[in-house]
Amino acid sequence: MPVEPLSQKEIEERLAELPGWSLDDGRLTRTYRLGSHFAATAMVVHVAQVQEELDHHSDLTLGYDTVSLAVHTHSAGGAVTEKDVELARRVEDLATGHGAH
């Protein structure tokens, strides 16, 4: 089943529900500052688990105490889709403690 790109208006509506996320170069992006390298590394592991569950993977960058994500859907020509929004929501839940294991 093909994944349809979201319109600019739809992306803006979804971003209104995702504080801290933005559209940058056609991707949903967010950087989290975790306070320590250990916390940032742990978040990367949790994000990787979510990505595997959703079978949808982002560009994920680990810094000393930061984790940055850039999300778009390759199968939709690199556009933003509902799959990206769902991944962003799940990551946000992890970061705010609502989806912690």
Write the pLDDT tens digit of every residue in 72-84. 999 899 999 999 9
> Span 47-66, mean pLDDT?
96
Question: What are the sequence ranges of the domains in the chain?
Answer: 8-95
Q: Is residue 92 predicted with pLDDT exceeding 80?
A: yes
* pLDDT over threshold 70, residue 99: no
Residue 17 has a pLDDT of: 96
Q: Is CATH 3.30.1360.20 the right assignment for the domain spanning 8-95?
A: yes
DSSP the chain: -PPPPPPHHHHHHHHHTSTT-EEETTEEEEEEE-SSHHHHHHHHHHHHHHHHHHT---EEEE-SSEEEEEE-BGGGTTB--HHHHHHHHHHHHHHTTSS--
